[in-house]
Chains A and B, each alone.
Chain A
Amino acid sequence: MNIPANLKYAETDEWVLVEGNVATIGISDHAQDQLSDIVFVEIVVSEGDTVKKGATCATLESVKAAADVNLPVSGKVVAINEDLAQTPEVVNSDPYGKAWMVKVELANPGELTGMMDAAAYEKYCAERSH
């Protein structure tokens, strides 16, 4: 399983990449594997929205399951990945790259400190698998 070292992870399997004061958000390799083949992605926030940590920013559907993607941070939405609606399969093939979902300008960078680093997340995934 791929768990890049430069990202932070949430207990609900979202990842965050921080560049300056902007956080890019997606779901982890582990999460896409659990969901199996993603057939639909809907981003449910819009550019310019002010969003709170914990709010749903996207919904994902596979053939047998559906899942919400929750925001690990609060702030203002500065970009959404509009291509995902047409190419949901990249959530499976490139979860940390092309399958980014939203970019949020951080309102409270302190929220990041509660998130896991790669090592902690790897341990967390291993614990859940049995």
Chain B
Amino acid sequence: MYIPHTDAEREAMLRTIGVKSLDELFQDVPAEFRFPKLDLPPALTEMEAVAQLQELAGANENTRDLVCFLGAGAYNHFIPAAVDSLLRRGEFFTAYTPYQPEVAQGTLQAIFEYQSLVANLTGMDVSNASHYDGATAAAEAAVLAYHHFRGKRGKIVLSPSLNPMFRATVRTYMDGYEGLVLTGDEASVDPFLTPEDLIPMVDQNTSMVAVQYPDFFGRVFDYTALAKAVHEAGALLVVAVNPTALGMLKAPGEFGADIVVGEGQPLGIPMSFGGPYLGLFATKNDFIRKIAGRLVGETVDAQGRRGYVLTLTAREQHIRREKATSNICTNQGLIALASAVYMSLLGKHGLRKVAELCYHKAHYAASRINQIEGYSLCANAPFFHEFVVCCPKPVSEINAHLLDHGILGGYDLSKDYPELSNHMLLAVTEMNSKEEIDMLCDVLAEVNHE
């Protein structure tokens, strides 16, 4: 336990306060509810707690032991040791939000560099200090678009190949805005539609169109024509990215994205059963004043020394209260730092290298699987490191077999797209060796013959 008081100190403190016991400090609490008996397990020492947590962790099968071909929004990548080594510095992880800039230049400069790295990776002008994750970043983009048009545009178009969790989160966030229609991803829509199919849905009442790059099925599209149509209608184009892919693919800024969001987990963050992750959020200069969340800016002190501060804070909830467009206080500080360290270490060459490794290995896997009897690739577009396979049996059945061989199979798309029964989404990263891919193919062939 971490309470340092000795009995003598406690007595002395109570005397200074002028009370006889700790209980006397709680007279304002209604007596009938005071000091409830809590039904919690008895306290453990550190040694016992470690044993208990190790037992829980040990009850999982993890991707250090399993061969992982599962992606769908969280990816198994190599994280250089230097990343966690820096995150463990108490000066970083036990600091608060940098409200006192003179004693928080470490956090502030790190976030400033993070903003720069994300802006450069996405090809946008500015990045904020991050949101909670990719899904909430997408939701914040919808909120920005709504307020950009002062609520006068009542339609949001969501591509059906935008991550289903992103779409669900956008819906929850926008539920309080009366008269808003979210469309484009209804059950009747073909999940594999192309960007051009979205164009007829865009009109003068549309505030934004959101697509993914590469999309949820791993496909890579050129969004230039869509961007043109969206801009002609006066609307905003929001592109959700996988940052790993941007190591080799054109930045969304190049084809006219107004806002780029994304799940930053692939940038050196452990999968950690879904969180904490990192919400990338970058925009063109036009929207700087409308970005929710923290922004760090460069300035000088009285002696002209360069320093960094939180800036444009008058937009935020603690000043604007009910007029703020978002209630967000935190960013994902430490996780943004992890990604900044990861991007700095890999740099220009490493980011390209990892992207190409993912690309080559995924294409090798796809071409081999396509040759197995009963299996076929069902995407007709270029893809990055994920692809959809049409399987001879339900995905859950195939995955059970794969698991028997120590393989974590792909994502069962029928969970989100009922019409896509027997469709599996597979992800391949630099972590997967040729041997593992060959083993996957062998087991898939075997399953079909059973």
Contact = CB atoms under 8 A, between A and B. Distances in A.
A44 interface: yes
Nearest to B290: A42
Given A62-B314, A66-B320, 14 more contacts: A39-B312, A39-B314, A40-B289, A40-B312, A40-B314, A44-B150, A61-B315, A64-B313, A64-B319, A65-B314, A65-B319, A66-B319, A66-B323, A68-B323
Contact of A63 (B150, B314, B320, B323): B314
Nearest to B309: A63
B404 to A, nearest CB: 60
14 contacts: A39-B314, A40-B289, A44-B150, A61-B312, A61-B314, A63-B314, A64-B313, A64-B314, A64-B319, A65-B314, A65-B319, A66-B315, A66-B319, A66-B320
Contacts of A68: 323
Interface in A39-79: 39-40, 42, 44, 61-66, 68
A80 to B, nearest CB: 15
A42 B319 contact: no
Contacts of A42: 289
Interface in B298-321: 312-315, 319-320
A94 B323 CA distance: 27
Interface in A15-58: 39-40, 42, 44
Interface in B140-181: 150
Interface residues of B, number: 9
Query: What does DSSP make chain B's interface, helix, strand, loop or mixed?
Result: helix
A44 B150 CA distance: 9
Interface in A68-125: 68
A117 B289 CA distance: 36
B356 to A, nearest CB: 43
B247 to A, nearest CB: 36
Interface in B223-282: none
Contacts of B314: 39-40, 61-66
Contacts of A65: 314, 319
Contacts of A62: 314
B290 to A, nearest CB: 9
A124 to B, nearest CB: 25
Contacts of A61: 312, 314-315
A61 B295 CA distance: 15
Contacts of B312: 39-40, 61
Nearest to A38: B314
Contacts of A66: 314-315, 319-320, 323
A117 to B, nearest CB: 31
Nearest to B324: A66
A77 B320 CA distance: 26
A105 B383 CA distance: 58
Nearest to A35: B314
Contacts of B315: 61, 66
B289 A63 contact: no
Of B289, B312, B314, B315, the most chain A CB neighbours within 10 A belong to B314
A42 B312 CA distance: 13
The 3 closest A-B pairs by CB, nearest first: A61-B314, A66-B314, A66-B320
A66 B319 CA distance: 7
A68 B150 CA distance: 15
A62 B313 CA distance: 9
A87 to B, nearest CB: 15
Contacts of A44: 150
B435 to A, nearest CB: 58
Interface string B323-343: 100000000000000000000
A40 B313 CA distance: 11
Nearest to B313: A63
B28 to A, nearest CB: 33
B151 to A, nearest CB: 12
A44 B313 CA distance: 20
Contacts of A63: 313-314
A62 B315 CA distance: 10
A106 to B, nearest CB: 24
A19 to B, nearest CB: 29
A10 B315 CA distance: 25
A28 B180 CA distance: 38
A59 to B, nearest CB: 8
B125 to A, nearest CB: 17
A56 B343 CA distance: 44
Contacts of B150: 44
B21 to A, nearest CB: 43
B149 to A, nearest CB: 12
A68 B321 CA distance: 13
Nearest to A61: B314
A65 B313 CA distance: 9
Of A42, A62, A64, A66, the most chain B CB neighbours within 10 A belong to A66
